[in-house]
Chains A and B, each alone.
Chain A
Amino acid sequence: DAGVTQSPTHLIKTRGQQVTLRCSPKSGHDTVSWYQQALGQGPQFIFQYYEEEERQRGNFPDRFSGHQFPNYSSELNVNALLLGDSALYLCASSLGQGNTEAFFGQGTRLTVV
């Protein structure tokens, strides 16, 4: 079992650009959540996808959007990047919407310059 895999591991983008991050959930999991972890902070919930729909959303602007595919993998898109979007982006997968155990990937380190 490969667990939760994220790609790429590191990324450098320029202000104003757009970025797409990818996540493959743990085998058997159907729910994917995305979190942003700024330096020195705890992860903050961005949104959750279940059955290919955004089911919950945290306090993030519309520049942050996502998608879930029929195979349960997911993408996080961020438009019009700001310096403040620099962070570790974590994907977590779980079974069903109720969170009794979420498994996290290694994360994608995004640096905006």
Chain B
Amino acid sequence: AQSVTQLDSQVPVFEEAPVELRCNYSSSVSVYLFWYVQYPNQGLQLLLKYLSGSTLVESINGFEAEFNKSQTSFHLRKPSVHISDTAEYFCAVSDGSQGNLIFGKGTKLSVKP
């Protein structure tokens, strides 16, 4: 069975500081990996995804994540955060063939001025 662990439930950082949100997964098969962001009282928005190919994937708003198969990790990073990045971030895994997503419990990123 697949599972996702997000090690930090809350991450407070100051504006313009770097941030890393950690995600580890377990699976016996090849996986697709995703990061979703959820703003208050809203649904989930896809931030970035790894399907195959380059292990480093980037989003349009400066986030990046690196797929590390040996460490079964897919950590999310941003070199300089903005107040507007304050949200909850969910890491998810899918084996692709089945289609259902397995989510972690989420990490609340709080960016302070």
Contacts and interface: CB of A to CB of B under 8 A. Distances in A.
Contact of B42 (A40, A102, A106): A106
Nearest to B105: A42
Contacts of B100: 33, 45, 48, 56, 58, 99
Contacts of A104: 36, 43-45
Contacts of B94: 99
A7 interface: no
B99 A94 contact: yes
* Contact count band on B: 20 to 34
Given A48-B100, A56-B98, A101 B49 contact: yes
Given A101-B46, A103-B46, A104-B43, A45 B105 contact: no
Contacts, number: 71
Given A44-B103, A45-B102, A100 B45 contact: no
Interface residues of A, number: 29
A76 to B, nearest CB: 15
Given A100-B51, A101-B49, A104-B44, A42 B90 contact: yes
Interface of B: 4, 32, 36, 42-46, 49, 51, 90, 92, 94, 96-106
A-B pairs with the 8 shortest C-beta distances?
A42-B103, A99-B99, A104-B43, A104-B44, A45-B100, A99-B94, A106-B43, A97-B99
Given A42-B104, A98-B98, A99-B96, 9 more contacts: A40-B105, A45-B102, A92-B101, A98-B97, A98-B99, A102-B46, A104-B45, A106-B42, A107-B42
